[in-house]
A and B are shown apart, each in its own frame.
Chain A
């Protein structure tokens, strides 16, 4: 039943109501302004993020091949169980883990070392910072082509140099030593970005802490180990997460490095998980299966990220104590 109000009641409440009305109108205006400002992102996120993800999840349970919209079949969890019976997928995943275990630490150490060197008062510091950062802004296709010319067994620069001492050398850098070669290229290309982030972290370390340690008689090594490193652990933590995600998703380098080989199937040593996924999708038209492979990779990445986050309490230094858990 609708409530009715007398004129007297309404007029008695007028100042209060006016206040609330005004506050309410202001709130609505502010809400509209807020959502209007974020709507370009929100619409983009829904259209280009949420909807494709939802479609991707659904398609991973079907035999979708890119064309068969009308005859697509629901397979339940068959695509997911197929992954565990796909020896090539398992092999590719193992290679990816091995590559990540090799690439991420080397990249972290090289980036950090470069940052440490360039954080000193050396001459032409700006020039070297630019120089080391340059590979990061070169398109990956150009990078790989340059490296292929360096590493080619028959006509490559590296073998030509070795041939001065041992004529006729034709080391198969991109096949027999595919993993180390790929790591070298990856670190060469990625070290600049890592270096810039580490540099920002290093420059945020208060000088007085290092000076205090020196006054207390600490050597440079001890200052580095007990002041610099602990204060850099949040940056290392951030870089580690990025490195793991990037390495597990590695695709372009091995495929481009294999360019010119039949079907651009990379050597076995660098036949990574995402390469296998792309093969399934684009060579075998298994879009549904490929998506299942990708979602499983997503789960693996989440697991690794959670592990790193969980272990961070033991090795990452946080200046603000969180529930007495931080160092």
Chain B
């Protein structure tokens, strides 16, 4: 080999770095590339095309892994074993729910097959063509029938337009659900406050709730010993939406492109109802914080009224101390009907936590199999019997626990509430709808300033409206 050739073949440090850089870059590109070509189920130009046909996945001879984002207690190892025993060709792999991770995996072309989500998140995901249309599977299913679906499942149904949720093809199901506007009352605290025991049949008005809260709150000097009323404030705008829609009003314009708050008297009244409770220290607020959270406060007997759904009937059995467990068993902790707002009683679910199958799944058939098993077989039965929620299928309502003083009282109220829970709330597809949602987060951000008198109530509403509209515009820019 001649000298000049040798010279040219010498590797300088710079050359080495170049080669290393190229190798690493190549590796990154390979790593980032999808492991396989997108399946037939990848969403096409419109949502109606985001579907797959049963029977198109890999041969059953090879074990196929299906990943499901779900909390551990909601999909236990024992249930995974049962599923795998019944479906020897499928390995179920549970991942902790993490939306950011889900989107990262989706962007990398390897998303989890099944995602846990709440109803307010669904419209935007549908607009982005992320969920798989499950209608072709359900049409041939022996376990899931459209007429058997509980009304809360309507949050996961749509035609071809993501702005129109409620009817049409099925894209997902609730894992279980609750009429979320119901109240929980501590009868001992009510009695102690000299208040009449509330009716289990007649709904209170929100004015009544406020009056009860005023009597139930207990101060010692500046200390708040007992609070009157609380609710899950990260869902706060969902309550306003329920009340407004009950009156034929809405927090958003028909096309969801604008928030209607500042000039909407009924909306202002809805916000003011919650805000006044905070001003008067009747519920949790920056000037009246809780060391724990309201569910725990109620379970430890320091909160008189709590607005939570039927699911809390399971929660209180877990979070209570022994004394409260005795009270609960004795029927001193009770569920009350959803209150009426301006004479209208509406009790829909505002969470409808459920699952969708990702349209980009590589194994749609196996993913649907797990989805169906989870929502219609043993896992669904376990949830129905636990009392942590109303089953997704009406045919499983009979499994809801009803024995004992506590459970029979809760069932008595729930049975009637189910009739008021047929409707769904129209969530904005241009907002991400997390927990807290954009509106609830802004309310939290500006409430303290308003309580301190740094800004007025009107200024708070203006800030919420302006910034929500900016968030909506951002959403429109990203989606449309």
Contacts and interface: CB of A to CB of B under 8 A. Distances in A.
A153 B227 CA distance: 13
Interface residues of A, number: 54
A260 B11 contact: no
Contacts, number: 144
A66 B100 contact: yes
A261 B449 contact: no
Nearest to B447: A262
A154 interface: yes
B445 A265 contact: yes
A67 interface: yes
Interface stretch (B136-144, B265-273, B435-443): B435-443
B236 A71 contact: no
> Interface residues of A: mostly helix, strand, loop or mixed?
loop
A283 B291 contact: no
Interface residues of B, number: 58
Given A66-B100, A260-B289, A154 B477 contact: no
A153 B432 contact: no
Interface in B281-307: 284, 286-293
A3 interface: yes
Interface string B422-442: 000000000010101110110
B24 A260 contact: no
A31 B11 contact: yes
A51 B28 contact: yes
Contacts of A31: 11, 13, 16
Contacts of A65: 474, 478
Contacts of A163: 221, 223
A171 B434 CA distance: 33
A311 interface: no
A35 B16 contact: yes
A263 B100 contact: no
A174 interface: yes
A69 B290 CA distance: 41
Contacts of A46: 21, 24
A279 B474 contact: no
A141 interface: no
Nearest to B434: A283
Contact of B224 (A69, A170, A174, A267): A170
A5 B21 CA distance: 37
B197 interface: no
Contacts of A28: 10-11
Interface centre among A262, A265, A267, A268 (most CB of B within 10 A): A262
Nearest to B104: A66
Contacts of A285: 432, 474-475, 478
Q: Which 7 A-B pairs have the closest CB atoms?
A: A168-B221, A263-B436, A170-B222, A262-B233, A262-B444, A152-B291, A265-B444
15 contacts: A2-B2, A28-B10, A35-B13, A63-B474, A63-B477, A159-B223, A168-B222, A168-B223, A175-B448, A260-B292, A263-B444, A282-B100, A283-B438, A284-B471, A285-B478
